[in-house]
């Protein structure tokens, strides 16, 4: 059995070597040439693997928001997590929706660049482990039907699949469904977002009952969508819910407690 496994690994290595020769691999993050496909099969250069995620110490321990001054004080939570009952599940986030993270998300979402998913999945898996978030099942946040149809692919499901593979977990793309399309959330405050999403999701008790679920989405804005999904999962018997998002778009207007969203059609 052991000899067979060694032979299979050698064949796989040889296959990868031949493939690398025919189709020189390049990094899914920066497009730079790679000498060879890395052993884990994730096409990412060292700079992108190590430099795309911001340091964990700069983030809120609960929601992944950037802390003022980039430093943890006290229990390391942002103002929103300190003040509000935490409806948003603990969330692993790579960094702000800007620069290369933004470019990667947009390439996956709007240009169908599915080759970006394994790199983002591997980076998110590392952050989920760093955060100590435990799960049995990975579930994507369901896209709004018309928007997904227009783009022709469900990027959250692709990310969830890649993350599940990197974590060695099962992905259940249909465990959570959108039962009603919500109006675009862009420009709405926290309470209005919550009201707009009330009853928008339904979870499948047979799939999530008794399990720890890791929700996956591309961009975190106010957290209202994650909170609504977590509520539906909890109602269907999930034991615990955590989340992982590639990037965070969360800026607070000082003194007014309102989030601002830049405008490129993200409604979460
Ligand atoms: Zn790179
Ligand atoms: Zn927070």
Query: How does pLDDT run across 172-223, given as a tens digit for each residue?
Result: 999 999 988 777 777 777 778 778 888 899 999 999 999 999 999 999 988 8
State in Å: Cα 263 to ligand 1 middle.
Answer: 27
CA of 220, nearest ligand number: 2
Q: How far apart are CA 14 and CA 184, in angstroms?
A: 49
Closest ligand to C-alpha of residue 76 is 2
Question: CA quadruple 103, 105, 109, 111: dihedral positive or negative?
Answer: positive
Q: How confident is the model at residue 256 (pLDDT cuts 50, 70, 90)?
A: very low
Rounded distance from Cα 129 to ligand 1 centre (Å) = 22
Among 150, 125, 119, 120, which Cα is nearest to 219's? 120
Segment 61-77 shows an average pLDDT of 80
Q: Which ligand is nearest to the CA of 81?
A: 2
Q: Which CATH architecture has domain 59-260?
A: 3-Layer(aba) Sandwich (3.40)
Kindly state the helix (H) or strand (E) to which residue 138 belongs, with its residue range. strand 137-140
- Residue spans of the domains in the chain: they are 1-51, 59-260
Looking at residue 72, what is its pLDDT? Answer: 67
Separation CA 10–CA 183 (nearest Å): 53
Q: Looking at the DSSP assignment, which residues form a beta bridge with residue 177?
A: 202
Ligand 2 center–CA 96 separation, angstroms: 14
Query: What was the pLDDT predicted at 263?
Result: 32
Give the residue from 110, 107, 102 showing the smallest Cα distance to 28. 107
Alpha-carbon distance of 15 to 12, in angstroms, equals: 5
95 φ, ψ to 5°?
A: 170, -170
pLDDT level of residue 261 (50, 70, 90 thresholds): very low
**pLDDT per position as a tens digit, 136-155:** 999 999 987 666 666 667 89
43 Cα–ligand 1 center, Å: 8
Distance between Cα 135 and ligand 2 center (Å):
20
Q: Judge if pTM exceeds 0.95.
A: no
What is the rounded distance in angstroms from the CA atom of residue 67 to the CA atom of residue 72?
A: 7
Which ligand number lies closest to the CA of residue 59? 2
**Distance in angstroms (rounded) separating the CA atoms of residues 232 and 66:** 27
Ligand 2: centre distance to CA 59 (Å) = 8
pLDDT in tens, 243-252: 999 999 865 5
pLDDT in tens, 32-60: 999 888 888 888 999 999 999 999 989 99
Q: Interior CA angle at 159 toward 57 and 234, to 5°? A: 80
Mean pLDDT of the chain: 84
Calculate how far, in angstroms, residue 63's C-alpha sits from the geometric centre of ligand 2: 4
Q: Indicate the burial class of 80 (C-beta count within 10 angstroms; 0-12, 13-18, 19 or more).
A: buried
Give the C-alpha separation, 220 to 264, whole Å: 14
For ligand 2, the distance from its centroid to the CA atom of residue 79, given in whole angstroms, is 7
């Amino acid at each position: 059995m052991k000899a067979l496994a060694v032979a299979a690994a050698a064949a796989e290595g040889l296959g990868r070597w031949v493939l690398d020769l025919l189709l020189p691999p390049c990094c899914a993050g920066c497009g730079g040439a790679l000498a060879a496909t890395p052993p884990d099969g994730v096409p990412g250069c060292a700079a992108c693997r190590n430099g795309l995620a911001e340091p964990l110490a700069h983030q809120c321990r609960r929601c992944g928001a950037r802390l003022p001054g980039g430093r943890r004080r006290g229990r390391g939570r942002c103002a929103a997590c300190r003040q509000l009952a935490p409806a948003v599940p603990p969330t692993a986030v790579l960094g702000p929706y800007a620069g290369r993270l933004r470019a990667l998300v947009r390439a996956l979402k709007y240009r169908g660049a599915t080759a970006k998913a394994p790199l983002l999945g591997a980076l998110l898996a590392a952050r989920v482990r760093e955060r100590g978030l435990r799960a049995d099942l990975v579930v994507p946040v369901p896209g709004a039907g018309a928007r997904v149809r227009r783009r022709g692919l469900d990027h959250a499901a692709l990310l969830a699949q890649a993350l599940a593979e990197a974590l060695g977990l099962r992905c259940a793309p249909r465990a959570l469904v959108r039962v009603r399309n919500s109006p675009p959330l862009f420009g709405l405050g926290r309470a209005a977002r919550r009201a707009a999403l009330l009853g928008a999701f339904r979870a499948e008790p047979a799939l999530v009952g008794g399990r720890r679920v890791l929700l996956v989405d591309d961009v975190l804005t106010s957290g209202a969508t994650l909170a609504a999904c977590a509520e539906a999962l909890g109602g269907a018997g999930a034991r615990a819910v955590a989340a992982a998002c590639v990037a965070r778009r969360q800026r607070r207007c000082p003194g007014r407690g309102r989030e601002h969203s830049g405008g490129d059609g993200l409604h979460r």
